[in-house]
Chains A and B, each alone.
Chain A
């Protein structure tokens, strides 16, 4: 086995039966996902409430403690794209009046709402309420659409992010305490709304329970990311990573989510212990920066794997998990204060990995043995994409890393040119190969 990972798995995982463990994460993840959509589809018939929320700061812990289902319109959107039906939904959003130049997630969701929630995975219920942070400003504009459509309670949780690159304050600092008080106050206001919507009293022990599940999940999620330092990497951070992200969001605050990530870490530890990688021979280790190209999800990945390019890291796994990669652990002895602190710190991290990710990327290169950085800004998402060209300049300047910069979209096929992508990707790998030859020539001299 060849690995550079510190404290990698030993013991139990290494002795498990291979067939029962390898591939379990994707199989279980896909099953959980189907179950989840079924659960949502049937929720109204059981008189259960649903909240529309977003991946960065979903407040799932609070909502789950009231038995309110969390619905992620971003996940609904990407599901339409990977199932190749996004165009119809987007077209409906554009017919409604939305410009070709705004986030296609929003337009696909407008299409979905106009169809009464009919979605390839099930029927999406109307919201009893919406909860949204400012991690992406488009969340706010999106929520305004639902406010106009449904006239339901709508709760903003405004979470101040880092004021400048690397400028973090922590507990006890006057600025951190100011932010924390604001976030804590808004969580209190959210709880009041949940009580009104459900007619239930807030139960702090239920909150502790959901926070405990998230603790387990975040601890395992951080470990999962760490495990991909192994050579070969046990999972693909873009394709497999998207399955993991789906569960991390949809099952946050739930026992199933905690179990899933416990099992997943066991699987990956097993793979690392036994030197098992993904399905192809890993020649180049890559980190992906941006949002995946869902309209040609499989093909996009193949264009890299055909050359032996393995995505061992992905900024998407950082920010789209709402900062679960930090492994933040809530203090269950003071749940509400700790929830506010966790929300502030993890959402801040998610925002940092979008706006200031050059630091994270440079810090990933050595420990993950990165050969190249793949930037994939997308038309739809200015949150993630606006700064990537400048980010790339900074990463090259600091690390000299080989980089690829290709633009397309995560939803809108009209902006995805497979042939153009392929040309650029092929040229990138040719460059990587030349670099490698030069490096080994240099080393042997």
Chain B
């Protein structure tokens, strides 16, 4: 398969970030097109977490379906009112032909996303299905179940690929993804420890581009970019350190992140958390599929769409704020996102109890005017700095 990214090795890091930004914002998803033109097949997987290793091991491109900043001209008529935007724009890119898939997978992350697989299935002939990630990770039977569910998924993926996925191929893919997550941890460490070197929107585009290219290629990009970011000459400024919460599914527009970055250092976030959901290297072992399943349960992060008694989300948020040495939080949610909006209540109560200041907001992936948000944020941050 050809490399999907243009040559960036001779670019400055700033130009490479612009290239990533253009790709991330391009609703035509040119890297996916290039992959198909070279004869490759594509499995689209909706937010939040998906075991991409299984698709990668079959030689297919796992493509993260995360909506787009487009008007859902076709998508709108397939849905009622009162729904988040990502549902509509995700379907739009498929209905409008911007992205052609060979398989689509959604998850029971929320009531809307579960319906999405059904809607998709009624409109396309290729397989559209739900991967039932466990919502009872606390059951002692969850790991065995998930291994079986992954084996089922692997059989479906094999049908698309027209070949079997061998254990060695799965191990090889898991190695690539382990490396990818290690590099992403480094990326986040830079943002946390030296946030003046890497703004939240810059880190975001470097992360997000990974969802539209093979992860091996993403590893090459990150390995090239990280030293360059460390070598930047920016100096620390007196800015508030914040954690941004609410980007686990629908994505805020880059301009919104950029607006936040103008006033503060976002030292941690949950943007595209599914790509970083597994927090440690996964052991390969004799039964890599079982290890992949266990990792989802035991070596993973948190989000409003996974119920886990061992990870009360507000405690996880407090830990995250502490670990990032942040002084405040932005508690956002996508408009009409039931889990995100529900979680805002628990988060803000926990932050109140701890005396941590926060800013509550809602966003939509297609919002274009940030003027009032900018003023509110500026006021919030000024209040914090001069409190």
Contact = CB atoms under 8 A, between A and B. Distances in A.
Contacts of A385: 80, 82
Interface residues of B, number: 60
Interface residues on A, range: 35 or more
Interface string B140-175: 111011001100100000000000000000000000
A355 B80 contact: no
A137 B249 CA distance: 15
A182 B80 contact: no
B193 interface: no
A156 B121 contact: no
Contact of A137 (B111, B117, B140): B111
A98 B345 contact: yes
Nearest to B87: A386
Interface in A177-215: 178-179, 181-182, 185-186, 189
Nearest to B304: A141
Interface in A68-107: 96-99, 101-103, 106
A358 B349 CA distance: 42
Nearest to B305: A137
Contacts of A156: 135-136, 138-139, 307
A161 B135 contact: no
Nearest to A97: B345
Given A178-B145, A387-B118, A97 B78 contact: no
Contact of B341 (A102, A157, A165, A182): A102
Given A386-B80, A390-B123, A154 B344 contact: no
A116 to B, nearest CB: 19
A379 interface: yes
A174 B145 CA distance: 11
Contact of A158 (B121, B136, B344): B136
Nearest to A163: B129
B119 A182 contact: no
B73 to A, nearest CB: 15
A157 B136 contact: yes
Given A101-B82, A156-B307, A185-B141, A178 B149 contact: yes
Interface in B239-290: none
A24 interface: no
A175 interface: yes
Interface in A380-420: 381-383, 385-391, 393-394, 407
Nearest to A394: B122
Contact of B338 (A103, A161, A167): A103
Contacts of A381: 111
* Residue from B78, B343, B345 with most neighbouring chain A CB atoms (10 Å): B345
A382 B344 contact: no
A366 interface: no
Contact of A389 (B80, B110, B149, B348): B80
Given A98-B342, A156-B136, A407-B81, A164 B122 contact: no
* Residue from A96, A358, A379 with most neighbouring chain B CB atoms (10 Å): A379
A437 interface: no
Contacts of B115: 354-355, 382-383, 386-387
B130 A163 contact: yes
A111 interface: no
Given A101-B341, A148-B346, A182-B139, A382 B117 contact: no
B81 A355 contact: no
Contacts of A377: 80
B297 interface: no
A389 B78 contact: yes
A101 B335 contact: yes
A141 B342 contact: yes
Given A106-B342, A179-B145, A390-B122, A158 B114 contact: no
Closest 10 CB pairs of A and B: A185-B141, A178-B148, A386-B115, A182-B145, A158-B136, A383-B111, A97-B345, A160-B132, A156-B136, A382-B111
Given A158-B139, A407-B81, 15 more contacts: A141-B342, A145-B342, A147-B312, A157-B136, A165-B122, A178-B149, A181-B144, A382-B111, A383-B115, A385-B82, A387-B79, A389-B78, A389-B79, A390-B78, A390-B119
